[in-house]
Amino acid sequence: MSGPLVLGIESSCDETGVGIVRGHELLANEVASSVEQHVRFGGVVPEVASRAHLQAIVPALRRACATADIDLSEVDAIAVTAGPGLMGALVVGLSAAKALAVALNRPLYGVNHLVGHVAVDVLDHGPLPQPCAALLVSGGHTSLLAVNSITSDITELGATIDDAAGEAYDKVARLLGLSYPGGPVIDRVAAAGDPRAIAFPRGLTATKDLAKHRFDYSFSGLKTAVSRWVEIRRRDGLEVPMADVAASFQEAVCDVLTAKAVDACEHLGVDTLLIGGGVAANSRLRALLEERTAERGITLRRPRPALCTDNGAMIAVLGSEVVGAGLRPSSLELGANPGLPVSTVLVGADRNGR
C-alpha cells in the first residue's frame, strides 16, 4: 500500500503510544499504560502520568520501529497529540516529537487527540464516508460530532455538561467498592445483572431539557441517583445487588448515548455513525448501537477494541490524512493546548511552510 510513512506519538493522559502507518496500513502500534500506577488513587494523577511518559516514550519508540521493521531515517513525517489532555503529559510527547523532527529534518504535525479517535477507524474499514456523525466516549470526553472533513471541517453538535461517561463509570465503580478503571469492571459485573431492575434516570432527555440540550449529555445526576439508591439499601441493612446496580446504571448510560447519537444522524441526514474512545469498547454500548442503527438504516463503524483506547496509531493515521491533504506542517514553536477544541484538527501551522 502506498502513502507517507508517518510516526505518531500520543501522550495526552495515562497511555504512552507510538504508532507507525504507511497511508492507511498499520505497521506498528506500541502502547505503554501507567494505569496500574493510578489504581490506588482511584483516578489519573497528572504528575504520575507525566513521569510515566518520560520513562516509557523511548522504549515504546524503539519497539514500534522494530515491529514495523523500519529505521527512523525512513519516516516521512511525525505527528503528535497537541491537545486536549493533561498539560504535563502532552509536553512529554511534544518534546519527543520536536526532537525527532529536528534530528531527522522531517515535518512535524501537531494534531487533535479527539479527531484521532475518529480517524483511527480508517485503519480497520478504509476511508470514512464524509459527511458522517461520530460519537466519542472516553474517560474525559463525551461528544457528538458532525464530520464533514476529517482534516478540516468538524463541528461539535453536543458534549457532556458535567461528568463524561467514563468518569461516571469510575465514580460508580468506586462507590460500589469495585476497582479502577471502572468501565471494564462494571461491564463485566453487569453481564450477570438485570438492566431493568432499577429505573435510574436518563440525563437531559426530558422535553424541557431536549429543547436546549438536544445533543448534550449529563451523567452527574445518574451518578448521584446510584449513590443514593445504594446508600438507602445499606442504611436499611439490605444487601446491595451489585450486578443489578451495575447493569441498570450501564443501561441508563448506554440508552442515552445511543438515542442521542441516532438522533444526531437523522438530524444531519447522514447514514454513517462512527464510535470511538475508550468507552466504545463497552459491550452493551456496542450491542445497543448496533441494534438501534440497524433499525434506522444507519451504518455503524466501530474500530477494534485495541484502537478505541488512546494509542499512537490514531495519531499516526490522522497525520497521514493531514499530509495527504497537503496541509502545512506545524511550527517547532507549537505548544500544548489542554483545552484544544475538536474543530481544530491541525495546530500551529507554520506560516513559512518549512
Is 315 in the same domain as 297? no
Is 295 in the same domain as 332? no
- For position 352, what pLDDT does the model report? 53
Of 219, 272, 279, 273, which is closest to residue 249 (Cα–Cα)?
A: 219
**pLDDT digit string, tens, across residues 289-346:** 999 999 999 999 999 989 999 999 999 999 999 999 999 999 999 999 999 999 999 9
pLDDT tops 70 at residue 353: no
How many domains is the chain partitioned into structurally?
A: 2
Grid cell 522531517 is found at 106
Is 154 in the same domain as 109? no
pTM, two decimals, is 0.95
Is 109 in the same domain as 182? no
Apex 222 CA angle, 218 and 228, nearest 5: 150
Residue 38 domain-assigned? yes
C-alpha cell belonging to residue 58: 523511548
**pLDDT digit string, tens, across residues 59-78:** 999 999 999 999 999 999 99
Residue 109: give its domain's CATH number: 3.30.420.40
Is 116 in the same domain as 151? no
Rg of the chain in Å (alpha carbons): 20
Q: Report d(CA 186, CA 249) in Å as an integer.
A: 9
**pLDDT digit string, tens, across residues 86-124:** 999 999 999 999 999 999 999 999 999 999 999 999 999
Residue 125 domain-assigned? no
Average pLDDT score over residue span 132-141? 92
pLDDT range class, residue 81, cuts 50, 70, 90: very high
Q: Which neighbouring-strand residues pair with 78? A: 7, 108
Which residue segment(s) compose the domain that 16 sits in?
Answer: 5-120+311-347
- For position 291, what pLDDT does the model report? 98
pLDDT tops 70 at residue 354: no
- For position 278, what pLDDT does the model report? 87
Is 114 in the same domain as 200? no
